[in-house]
């Protein structure tokens, strides 16, 4: 082989060698715990034993859990579409004052921690709340409403993006050729939107299938999904064998769903969404259109705004002793109180610390992965890409459970390490980091790198002088994602948090599950604090406005 | 950019070291003032002066870590076996005795006053767990409510399934509440292997409400619980009547909360030293303290349980109003250990779904 | 100075360059002229080390460059449309090569100021490159290329994207600057009037081969074949 070619390959190999770090990291902290789960569930006593899985499939209450998980996810997805499609239409097609603000605000529920959303619905639908008489809490209705609350943003963003770019001339042609408005919609618009609708539905389905915090806090004892069952079996019944079996079923279901959905998407040839920059939004002209706009926006505002408003309002409650609002609950945050070992403010400190550590880890590992993945797509790179996305499909509960049973003994004994929780958060966050940084890297004009090389920069220097500064923005977005994921994580932390160092979501969970006005008020105050923290991070992201947020 | 990264790294380092300082047990095992952690369930209470006296006497500070209800607390301890979150544990009861011992999370210790405890309550001959208190889980009812509604109060467990008492009962979920679990065991002991399932089917048909824990049931749903509840019949303790008087406002001189004579099941609570603790001696002193007269006599008005030591003086209110059942139901701990999870599962299917 | 001997380059399975021979003397400007797709840019990139050779050798000052990676060759390369670093201002771009050589800051400031004056952009140091006009961007790119005093300068369609007026003005500036640099220069263009203005010698390329080379006067006097004649508009 020629020396020149060898030199070139050496440079490319250096880049590819970067993949070693993410692979080792995921191997130790994702694959290893996952294998431990499979081991517990399928090989409990040294030989393969499907008894535990058999129990899951034959035990009627466990089968019911699996079935409930499936149909509530389907129902939630359907409801989200019903509410989200009109919203997508309105935001995509109508120009009105505050349109961009609405688009940004829609994302806030999506990135809100699940415990905060649960607390908001407790404030609205639970005892003492304005809608308490409807008796929707706990129960299926509360779960469904909360799911729609979370996921409307997905439909509006994903479908809306395509809807905005639809050429109105196509629809006009249909009308000129004799199709009524309805006919145009069903025969022309809908088929064009179908790939985006499928994409949005699959995301919503996956999220609601793995929903944990919402079901745990709002569902009551009669409603249990695979996720909550794994948690309850572990903490209440210490039945790790069946918990592991359930986790296996969950993983299989999610992987199966993902494969099915990618196949459907491939067939629909969605590909990358091209930002055409064309905006077909027009101000509403007819009375009907204006009414439709008003009703839809009003409905959206109610659905998304009222629960959060109730949360904030009730955080200023003064313990039911009459009179006006007070800061009593907030002041009480600095005292331990009976239920928590430490004061809620210490939980805030813990959350911030863990978020910082998790973000750093996720940026380093995810950044290395992004650098290795960014160049021309080869078959090997595509496979690696899928591999790195796996933690996204695996729920946080599974990751937390895996950490619990795998990382408390050699070779990786991290039970008392302060890094345990940040590592779990980082695993969940890394796919987001990669998704945010890779497009940025790919957008760099290769001639910039070549210019730098001609001016004397070695390959490592080129990465530092050209790639890194240009993707700096993408890294900021990625950091924001990672921090938001870490601050709000509940599913993984529920398994591995030590009772003497809770995070904010854990503290809120404890406060909500205990009776007593004081605990409830403090839960409201703490949730408001967490909501503000998360909103700060997310709004900061939106201002940086890299396309990453719209790419799911 | 570089400066930003550097300052973030420094900040992270500082916070990590600060975080390490606030973990449960201190590293020092020497002679200076020590701090140990006691893992308990949510209902643990002790009056400040009594605990302060212990610290003054021994130089040991005690931090109380509440870990949920008794079952969850125990599971926490088992799941963190290799790195215990506390030095001693309190709140494991006779329904979870075998789970705690079999899990190997305890170190045996013979408390100094153990001989003073009646043999019948010393359910662990290996001394991994030391009995501290007991209570009788019984059905309670609000006498005032039944008077006001001109309904005869129930007298047996079976009455609860009769139409006269439809929609009047609240119980606790045995999966999440030790009170609920003990009541489930009472029905098993009372009605036998298959009879108990019929009983619960009838209860469910009669509109029983299930709450996750004792506090939600008593404070939240019981008419005499002070939380505006609507159910006049609740599963609680034989020591609820004195509590009713103590916490009444306006002050009552006689409790309106009464106890059903049928179906009481004895629950004994234990304490033990967690294996792997760095402060074994201090933890041992704590166990001795829990069995000391000072604590035993403080317990009744704090946690509304009976001290195991017969020589502990009971407060007047207890002797006057606490219910002492003539007979109590019981099951051998081995039987409980063998069938508990299956019974809970069956109960779940019968009642919740 | 620069010897290109029997060089072939393959890209994506196709032979882009076939058995190319060329020599460039010190302080000589050779223009690679030809229609698009003739392989001129590829040859330039091969000289820079940005494309590996399928066969043949490239030597500079008698030393074989095969084992030398692009960033160690000390050659200047100016891309079409400049390829300026968007995250750095004008000064940050021009001093880049100097930084790579480890030159101290004070020295760099001096040289950048000199270069900017040379290209007629004195005082532009703090400007953001995105805000510059096309002509200004090309001049910054030129300043950046020449600042580190490269041993050889390569330019790929340096004036390609400019309008006629600007083009003519810059051609003169370019000629002056390249003469002053006194190093071998290889320049690629498809515009033969540009070749006329800048070249000492011309190499006409077609389909990956050099079909004729020599001074422009020589080629025009005796074009090798029909194609050469018609390409030069004779």
Which residue on chain A is closest to B212 by alpha carbon?
A221
The verdict on C121 and C177 lying in the same domain is no
**C189 inside domain:** yes
- Top residue of A11, A441, A448, A456 to mutate, by most chain C CBs within 10 Å, is A456
The shortest C-alpha distance from A12 to chain C (Å) reads 13
Q: Under CATH, which number does the domain A10-34+322-552 receive?
A: 1.10.3720.10
**C229 inside domain:** yes
Cβ contact (<8 Å) for C77 and A5?
no
Q: Which of the two residues, B138 and B81, has the higher pLDDT score? A: B138
Dihedral pair phi/psi, residue A280, rounded to 5°: -95, 20
Chains A & B: contacts with CB separation below 8 Å: 105
CATH number at residue C46: 3.40.50.300
CA nearest to B213, candidates B222, B226, B204: B222
Quote the tokens at residue A280. 């077909």
The verdict on C143 and C199 lying in the same domain is no
**Domain locations in chain A as residue ranges:** 10-34+322-552, 75-237+253-270+279-311
Position B291 scores a pLDDT of 94
Which residue on chain A is closest to B175 by alpha carbon?
A236
Chains B and C touch (3+ CB pairs under 8 A): no
Is C149 an 8 Å CB contact of chain A?
no
Q: Which of the two residues, A337 and A117, has the higher pLDDT score? A: A117
Taking residues A355-372, what's their average pLDDT?
Answer: 91
Cβ contact (<8 Å) for A448 and C66?
no
For residue A53, pLDDT over 90 is answered with no
Considering chain C, what is the average pLDDT of its residues? 88
The residue among C119, C150, C181 that closes a domain is C150
The residue among C95, C117, C150 that closes a domain is C150
The verdict on C16 and C112 lying in the same domain is no
Which residue on chain B is closest to A363 by alpha carbon?
B5
> Got the DSSP string for A322-383?
SSS--SHHHHGGGS-TTT-SS-HHHHHHHHHHHHHHHHHHHHHHHHHHHHHHSSS--HHHHH
Position A551 scores a pLDDT of 37
Residues 118-147 of C with CB under 8 A from A: 144
The shortest C-alpha distance from B311 to chain A (Å) reads 31
The verdict on C70 and C156 lying in the same domain is yes
Sheet holding C185-189, edge to edge: C75-78, C152-156, C185-189, C29-33, C201-206, C209-214
Position A250 scores a pLDDT of 87
For residue A178, pLDDT over 70 is answered with no
Q: B250 preceded by cis ω (within 30°)?
A: yes
**C105 inside domain:** yes
Question: Which residues is B267 bridged to in the sheet?
Answer: B135
The verdict on C118 and C57 lying in the same domain is no
**C79 inside domain:** no
List all chains that touch chain B, counting a touch as 3 or more CB pairs closer than 8 Å.
Answer: A
Position A544 scores a pLDDT of 63
Among A232, A236, A353, beta carbon nearest to B19: A353
Do A341 and A500 touch, CB atoms closer than 8 A? yes
The verdict on C145 and C166 lying in the same domain is no
B98/B77 Cα distance (integer angstroms): 14
The shortest C-alpha distance from C8 to chain A (Å) reads 13
Which residue on chain B is closest to A473 by alpha carbon?
B1
Position B24 scores a pLDDT of 39
**C80 inside domain:** no
The verdict on C70 and C158 lying in the same domain is yes
Considering chain A, what is the average pLDDT of its residues? 82
Report the C-alpha dihedral over residues A22, A24, A27, A28, rounded to 10 degrees: -110
> Got the DSSP string for C169-207?
HHHHHHHHHHHHHTS-EEEEES-HHHHHHH-SEEEEEET
Cβ contact (<8 Å) for A515 and B215?
yes
The verdict on C160 and C215 lying in the same domain is yes
Cβ contact (<8 Å) for C70 and A458?
no
Quote the tokens at residue A295. 């009703």
Q: Under CATH, which number does the domain A75-237+253-270+279-311 receive?
A: 1.10.3720.10
Structural domain span for residue C137: 85-150
Does pTM top 0.80 for this prediction?
no
pLDDT in tens, B197-229: 999 999 999 999 998 888 889 988 899 887 778
ipTM: 0.77
Mean pLDDT comparison of A269-273, B235-239, B345-349, highest-scoring range: B235-239
Chain A residues within 8 A of B1 when measuring between CB atoms: 469, 472
For residue A275, pLDDT over 50 is answered with no
Cβ contact (<8 Å) for A515 and B220?
yes
Which residue on chain B is closest to A475 by alpha carbon?
B1
DSSP state of B217: I
The verdict on C96 and C166 lying in the same domain is no
Number of domains in chain C: 2
3-state helix, strand, coil in chain C (%, to 5): 40, 25, 35
pLDDT > 70 in chain A, percent: 87
A122/A523 Cα distance (integer angstroms): 10
The verdict on C47 and C102 lying in the same domain is no
Map out the domains of chain B with their CATH numbers: 26-134+267-320 (3.40.190.10), 135-266+324-352 (3.40.190.10)
pLDDT in tens, A492-538: 999 888 888 889 999 999 888 877 778 888 889 999 999 988 888 77
pLDDT in tens, C85-109: 877 889 988 998 888 888 899 999 9
Chain B residues within 8 A of A472 when measuring between CB atoms: 1
For residue A201, pLDDT over 50 is answered with yes
A372-386, B86-100, C31-45, C46-60: range with lowest mean pLDDT: A372-386
Cβ contact (<8 Å) for A445 and C83?
yes
pLDDT > 70 in chain C, percent: 100
List all chains that touch chain C, counting a touch as 3 or more CB pairs closer than 8 Å.
Answer: A
pLDDT in tens, C155-193: 988 887 677 888 888 888 888 888 888 899 999 988 878
Going from the C-alpha of A87 to that of each of A190, A294, A436, B99, B270, the distances in angstroms are 15, 11, 26, 54, 59
pLDDT in tens, A526-552: 999 999 888 887 777 666 654 433 333
Based on its alpha-carbon atoms, the radius of gyration of chain A, rounded to whole angstroms, reads: 25
Burial class (CB within 10 angstroms; exposed 0-12, middle 13-18, buried 19+) of A365 = buried
Residues 99-128 of B with CB under 8 A from A: 99
Q: How confident is the model at residue A278 (pLDDT cuts 50, 70, 90)?
A: low
Cβ contact (<8 Å) for A453 and C83?
no
Q: How confident is the model at residue A86 (pLDDT cuts 50, 70, 90)?
A: very high
Is A385 an 8 Å CB contact of chain B?
no
**C4 inside domain:** yes
The verdict on C162 and C234 lying in the same domain is yes
Going from the C-alpha of C189 to that of each of A186, A445, B148, C155, the distances in angstroms are 55, 22, 106, 9
List, in order, residues 6 or more apart from A282 with CB less than 8 Å away. Answer: A93, A94, A95
For residue A255, the Cα-to-chain-centroid distance in whole angstroms is 17
pLDDT in tens, B136-192: 999 999 999 999 999 999 999 999 999 999 999 999 999 888 899 999 999 999 999
The verdict on C135 and C170 lying in the same domain is no
Host H or E run for residue A413: strand A412-413
Cβ contact (<8 Å) for A4 and C49?
yes
Is A1 an 8 Å CB contact of chain B?
no
For residue C40, the Cα-to-chain-centroid distance in whole angstroms is 11
């Amino acid at each position: 082989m020629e020396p020149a070619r060898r030199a070139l390959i050496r440079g490319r190999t250096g880049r590819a060698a970067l993949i070693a770090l993410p692979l080792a990291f995921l191997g130790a902290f994702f694959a290893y715990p996952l294998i431990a789960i499979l081991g517990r569930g399928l090989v409990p006593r040294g030989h393969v034993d499907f008894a535990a899985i058999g129990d899951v499939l034959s035990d009627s209450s466990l089968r019911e859990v699996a079935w409930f998980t499936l149909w509530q996810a389907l129902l939630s997805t359907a409801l989200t579409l019903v509410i989200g499609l009109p919203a997508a239409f309105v935001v995509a097609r109508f120009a009105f004052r505050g349109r961009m603000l609405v688009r940004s605000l829609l994302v806030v529920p999506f990135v809100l921690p699940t415990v905060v959303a649960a607390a908001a619905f407790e404030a609205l639908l639970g005892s003492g709340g304005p809608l308490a008489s409807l008796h929707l809490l706990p129960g299926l209705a509360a779960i469904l409403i909360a799911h729609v609350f979370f996921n409307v943003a997905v439909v509006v963003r994903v479908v809306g993006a395509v809807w905005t770019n639809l050429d109105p001339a196509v629809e006009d042609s249909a009308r000129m050729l004799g199709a009524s408005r309805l006919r145009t919609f069903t025969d022309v618009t809908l088929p064009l939107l179908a790939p985006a609708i499928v994409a949005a539905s699959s995301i919503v389905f996956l999220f609601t299938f793995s929903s944990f915090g919402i079901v745990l806090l709002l569902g009551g004892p009669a409603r249990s999904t695979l996720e909550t069952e794994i948690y309850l079996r572990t903490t209440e019944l210490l039945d790790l064998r069946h918990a592991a079996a359930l986790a296996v079923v969950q993983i299989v279901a999610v992987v199966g769903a993902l494969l099915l959905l990618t196949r459907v998407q491939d067939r629909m040839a969605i590909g990358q969404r091209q930002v055409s920059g064309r905006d077909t939004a027009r101000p509403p002209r007819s009375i009907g259109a204006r009414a439709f706009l008003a009703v839809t926006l009003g409905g959206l505002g109610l659905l998304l705004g009222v629960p959060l408003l109730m949360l904030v309002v009730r955080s200023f409650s003064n313990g039911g002793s009459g009179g006006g609002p007070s800061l009593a609950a907030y002041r009480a945050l600095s005292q331990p109180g009976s239920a928590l070992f430490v004061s809620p403010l210490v939980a805030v400190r813990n959350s911030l610390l863990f978020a910082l550590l998790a973000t750093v880890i996720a940026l380093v590992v995810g950044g290395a992965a992004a650098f290795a993945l960014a160049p021309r797509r080869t078959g090997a790179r595509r496979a690696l890409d899928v591999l790195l996305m796996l933690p996204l499909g695996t729920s946080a509960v599974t990751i937390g459970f895996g950490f619990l049973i795998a990382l408390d003994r050699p070779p990786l004994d991290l039970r008392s390490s302060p890094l345990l929780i940040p590592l779990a958060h980082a695993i969940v966050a890394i796919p987001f980091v990669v998704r945010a940084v890779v497009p940025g890297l790919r957008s760099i004009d290769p001639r910039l790198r070549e210019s730098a090389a001609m001016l004397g920069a070695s390959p490592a220097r080129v990465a530092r002088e050209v790639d890194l500064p240009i993707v700096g923005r993408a890294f900021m977005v990625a950091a924001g994602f990672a921090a938001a994921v870490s601050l709000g994580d509940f599913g993984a932390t529920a398994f591995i948090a030590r009772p003497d160092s809770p995070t904010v979501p854990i503290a809120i969970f404890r406060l909500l599950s205990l009776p007593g006005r004081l605990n409830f008020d403090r839960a409201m105050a703490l949730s408001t604090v967490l909501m503000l923290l998360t909103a700060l991070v997310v709004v900061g992201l939106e201002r940086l406005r890299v396309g990453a947020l719209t790419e799911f | 950019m570089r400066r930003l990264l550097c300052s973030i790294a420094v900040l992270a380092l500082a916070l990590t070291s600060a975080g390490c300082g606030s973990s449960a047990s201190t590293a020092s095992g020497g002679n200076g003032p020590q701090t140990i952690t006691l893992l308990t369930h949510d209902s643990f209470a002790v009056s400040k002066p009594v605990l302060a006296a212990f610290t003054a006497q021994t130089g040991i500070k005690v931090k109380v870590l509440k870990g949920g209800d008794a079952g969850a607390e125990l599971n926490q301890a088992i799941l963190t076996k290799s790195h215990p979150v506390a030095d001693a544990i309190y709140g494991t009861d006779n329904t979870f005795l075998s789970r705690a011992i079999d899990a190997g999370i305890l170190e045996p210790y013979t408390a100094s006053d153990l001989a003073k405890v009646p043999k019948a309550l010393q359910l662990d001959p290996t001394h991994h767990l030391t009995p501290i208190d007991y209570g009788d889980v019984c059905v309670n009812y609000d006498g005032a409510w039944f008077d006001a509604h001109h309904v005869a109060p129930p007298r047996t467990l079976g009455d609860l399934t009769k139409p006269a008492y439809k929609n009047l009962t609240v119980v606790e979920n045995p999966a999440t509440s030790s009170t609920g679990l003990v009541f489930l065991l009472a029905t098993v002991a009372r009605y036998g292997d298959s009879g108990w399932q019929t009983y619960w089917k009838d209860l469910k048909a009669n509109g029983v409400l299930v709450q996750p824990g004792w506090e939600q049931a008593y404070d939240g749903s019981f008419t005499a619980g002070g939380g505006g509840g609507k159910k006049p019949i609740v599963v609680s303790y034989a020591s609820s009547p004195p509590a009713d008087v103590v916490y009444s406002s306006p002050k009552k001189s006689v409790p309106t909360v009464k106890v059903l004579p049928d179906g009481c099941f004895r629950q004994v609570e234990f304490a033990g030293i967690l294996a792997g603790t760095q402060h074994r001696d201090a933890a041992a002193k704590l166990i001795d303290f829990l069995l000391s007269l000072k604590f035993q006599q403080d317990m009744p008005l704090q946690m509304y349980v009976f001290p195991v030591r017969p020589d502990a003086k009971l407060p007047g209110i207890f002797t006057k109003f606490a219910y002492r059942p003539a007979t109590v139901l019981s099951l051998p701990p081995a039987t409980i250990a063998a069938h508990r999870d299956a019974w809970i599962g069956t109960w779940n299917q019968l009642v919740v779904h | 100075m620069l010897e290109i001997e029997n060089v072939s380059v393959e890209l994506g399975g196709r032979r882009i360059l076939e058995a190319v021979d060329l020599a460039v003397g010190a302080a000589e400007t050779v223009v690679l002229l030809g229609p698009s797709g003739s392989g001129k840019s590829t040859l330039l990139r091969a000289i820079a080390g940005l494309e590996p050779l399928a066969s043949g050798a490239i030597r500079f000052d008698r030393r074989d460059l095969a084992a030398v990676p692009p960033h160690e060759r000390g050659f200047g390369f100016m891309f079409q449309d400049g390829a300026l670093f968007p995250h750095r201002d004008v000064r940050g771009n021009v001093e880049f090569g100097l930084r790579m050589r480890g030159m101290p800051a004070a020295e760099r400031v001096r040289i950048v100021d000199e270069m900017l004056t040379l290209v007629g952009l004195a005082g532009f140091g703090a400007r953001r490159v995105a805000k510059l006009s096309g002509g200004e961007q090309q001049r910054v790119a030129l300043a950046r290329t020449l600042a580190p005093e490269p041993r050889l300068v390569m330019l790929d369609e340096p004036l390609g994207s400019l309008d006629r007026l600007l083009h003519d003005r810059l051609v003169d500036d370019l000629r002056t600057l390249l003469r002053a640099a006194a190093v071998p220069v290889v320049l690629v263009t498809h515009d033969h009037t540009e070749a006329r203005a800048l070249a000492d010698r011309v190499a006409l390329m077609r389909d990956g081969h050099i079909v004729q080379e020599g001074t422009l006067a020589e080629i025009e006097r005796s074009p090798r074949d029909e194609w050469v004649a018609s390409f030069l508009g004779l």
